[in-house]
Amino acid sequence: MSGCKYTTILLDMDGTLMDFDACESRALETVFARHGYPYSPAIRKLYNGINSRLWKEYEKGSTTKAIIKSTRFSELFQQIGVKGDGAAFNIEYLDELGNNWFPIEGSFELCRILHDSFRLYIATNGVSRTQRSRIKGCGLEPFFDGLFISEEIGVQKPLAGFFEYAASHIPNFKKEETLIVGDSLTSDMKGGLDFGLSTCWFNRHHAENPGLPITYEIHSLLELPSLLGIRSE
């Protein structure tokens, strides 16, 4: 067991354990090709702008996941002149996304190392069916004691309700013994800080921190074990 103060680690999924950009790119390309719709880097950029705006609204609590699912492709199709059913297309896209997993370098090794010393939980804002399919398919599922997915909880990170739910479903949960690890300053780090948790920002792309008082910052997943006093073999 580790000699550090933490007993429990919450790990974000997309952008932390999984390369969501790679998964998204493959899924979009596949489903657009299936329908014969035009697809290009410019169309993906347009989609990403729409999707990012909607997810930021979701994090703030000003929209719902159902609205995201039903409108993001409808809005995209309208802008690119495609006559298609955006809601139905979204279902196909999510199914395809669930079939794609591109683990970020070091994710499997990190989970293997931490599993021996900590209780590990996934904490994600993703879609339930998609996230469960991906975490199982990539082989990481056995390392985790549980999965907390916003769609199943009904509340998303960074809102307190997400963390309250997780805390109530982790045996003998203690804030001072819990660390959240994630790539998002707005959902993972802010949510963890607001709830009174220690935080570790996985700053893979060396972005600038606007001033959040995070506990740790790493640029590679395998930096984490040594920060926690764990020797990797």
Q: For residues 131 and 147, is the Cβ–Cβ distance under 8 A?
A: yes
CA atoms within 13 A on the CB side of 25: 10
Instruction: Check 12, 14, 183, 188 and give the catalytic one.
Output: 12
| Cross-strand partners of 182 | 201
Distance of alpha carbon 112 from alpha carbon 58, whole angstroms: 32
Distance of alpha carbon 12 from alpha carbon 187, whole angstroms: 10
**Nearest to 220, CA basis, from 197, 201, 192, 198:** 201
Residue 119's SS3 state is strand
Tokens representing 158 are 């960074």
Distance of alpha carbon 120 from alpha carbon 6, whole angstroms: 11
Q: What is the dihedral of CA 40, 208, 9, 146, to 10 degrees?
A: -20
Is 12 part of the annotated catalytic residue set? Answer: yes
137-to-50, 86, 98, 211 alpha-carbon distances in Å: 28, 27, 9, 37
Residues labelled as active-site residues: 12
